[in-house]
């Protein structure tokens, strides 16, 4: 059981890193021509990725806390 949690935590870690890299500010095509003001609100897929990242971090934290206590 403990090994499964560690593996799940590692997979979630990689997904979190990828999700954070997808959220780089100012890299969108529209910000090149609009002066950079178009990224102030999150819409569509960007909002889903943002909220998903928060959810993954919460799950990762819960698994981390669960791994602190020995499973009998």
Write out the DSSP string of 40-64. Answer: SS--THHHHHHHHHHHHHHHHHHHH
pLDDT bin (cut points 50, 70, 90) of residue 16 is: very high
- Domain tally, the chain: 1
Q: What is the pTM of this model?
A: 0.73
b/e 45-69 (16+ beta carbons within 10 angstroms → b): eeeeeeeebeebeeebeeeeeeeee
Residues in the chain, overall count? 72
Domain of 57 in residue numbering reads as 1-18+44-72
Structure tokens at 43: 């819409």
* Better pLDDT: 25 or 16: 16
User: pLDDT at residue 72 above 60?
Assistant: yes
pLDDT at res. 28: 53
Say which range, 28-37, 40-49, 53-62, has the weakest mean pLDDT.
28-37
């Amino acid at each position: 059981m403990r090994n499964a949690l560690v593996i799940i935590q590692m997979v979630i870690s990689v997904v979190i890193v990828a999700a954070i890299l997808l959220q780089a500010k100012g890299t969108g095509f529209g910000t090149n021509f609009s002066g950079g003001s178009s990224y102030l609100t999150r819409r569509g897929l960007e909002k889903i990725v943002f909220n998903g990242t928060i959810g993954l971090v919460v799950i990762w934290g819960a698994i981390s806390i669960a791994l602190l206590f020995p499973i009998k």
